[in-house]
Amino acid sequence: MPDNSEPREAALSFEAGLEQLEAVVKELEGGDLPLDRALELFEQGMRLSQTCRKQLEEAETRVEILTRKGDRIQAEPFRPEKT
């Protein structure tokens, strides 16, 4: 049976993906799962985590800082300091 979950997860909003990821973590933390189910949940959680991380990275590139230059407000790309 082919794994069709990745395209479905990629179409999720960030909030929906995070909600599903929290549900997966809660179920895994509950314990008493058969090994097959635990592995399935782990794989789903990893895909959801990757999807959410990608969405956050895309949002970060879209964030702009508005700065006042004289009497005008100008948008500049956000460049976080590397630590």
What is residue 2's predicted lDDT score, i.e. its pLDDT? Answer: 46
pTM score, whole prediction = 0.67
Q: For Cα atoms 52, 45, 33, give the angle at the middle one, nearest 5 degrees.
A: 160
Of 49, 67, 68, nearest in space to 57 by CA: 49
Average pLDDT of the residues of the chain: 83
- Domain edges within the chain: 5-77
E strand segments, the chain: 64-69, 72-77
| Residue with more model confidence, 80 or 23 | 23
Give the CATH fold of the 5-77 domain: Helix Hairpins (1.10.287)
Measured CA to CA, the distance from residue 33 to residue 29 in angstroms comes to: 10
Measured CA to CA, the distance from residue 48 to residue 19 in angstroms comes to: 10
Measured CA to CA, the distance from residue 72 to residue 64 in angstroms comes to: 15
Residues 42-61 have a mean pLDDT of 93
